[in-house]
Amino acid sequence: MCTLVIFRNVFPGRPIVVAANRDERFSRPAAPPTVKDGTLAPTDRERGGTWIGVNDRGILVAITNRESIPSVRGLRSRGELVRGALEAPTADHALASVMNRDPEDYNAFNLAIVGVDEGYHVIGTGVGGTDVDGDHIEPGFKLGPLAPGINIITNLGCGPGSPRANAILRAIRMHRADQPPPRPSSLDGMLNLHEGEIPGEGFYGRRLEATCLHPTDEDPDYGTVSSAIIRLNIYPGRTSAWEYWHRDRPKGKVHQCSSAWDAPVELALRTQ
């Protein structure tokens, strides 16, 4: 997962709304979201973890890489952090399941844990070392709150100020995605900032502002492979459920970003 936009307590009756894109190798196998043991999540078939998911307690967990810190081969999958946190009954327990692990077992990441009443942002610095700016980074976990409002987490940086976050905020204003009701169509624009439509150079030759990365001649096996829109429904008198739209992007040079969304997959929440 490389672009994660979390609307926390922005929409009446829908305390958590998420729009997210996953950037990955096209050749890396993945399964679409399914419901199993009270959890709704897609599956990374290569290593068994997941990059985003929700559970029937109303907890959302999602992770992105961090491009500023080089990865090290042979470490444990970051996807298992998400799997483990989704087994927790509360956001606080989910947080503890992450913070109690050894940070040097995993490459660097940004991880969001969101409940109706709590929100956390965990930053993992992997084994540490020197980042792309030449600064020394100590290994460890850093914890911060995920405040009410619009939270933007990407592999290139978090919050306003980064090129991708600024482009997402412009798309939100253009499509009025911060206004109710949060239909998938109003959230789709921020997920379709196409790399080919944005001028200038970027990280590893990629466009810094793009949320939808396309395969290139130099990098034909990498790009945006799937999208997700998740909306938690707690309207009075209705069955509370997670509604999860998931759109797979095809492999290869044919990149149909405008393809139709799949039907929603729902997971009923437990009665508290």
Query: Is residue 61 a part of any domain in this protein?
Result: yes
Query: Is residue 165 a part of any domain in this protein?
Result: no
Going by pLDDT thresholds of 50, 70 and 90, the confidence category of residue 17 is: very high
- Give the rounded distance of the alpha carbon of 140 from its chain centre: 21
The DSSP symbol for 264 reads: P
End-to-end alpha-carbon separation of the chain, Å? 30
Reported as a single tens digit per residue, the pLDDT across 110-157 is 999 999 899 999 999 998 887 777 788 899 999 999 999 999 999 888
Q: What is the number of domains present in the chain?
A: 1
C-alpha span between 260 and 93 (Å, rounded):
36
Query: Is residue 217 a part of any domain in this protein?
Result: yes
Query: Any idea what the CATH number is for the domain that residue 74 is in?
Result: 3.60.60.10
Is residue 217 predicted with pLDDT exceeding 90? no
Q: Which domain holds residue 71?
A: 3-158+211-268
Mean pLDDT over 64-71 rounds to 87
C-alpha span between 231 and 187 (Å, rounded):
11
Mean pLDDT over 69-97 rounds to 95
Going by pLDDT thresholds of 50, 70 and 90, the confidence category of residue 174 is: confident
204: three-class secondary structure by DSSP: helix
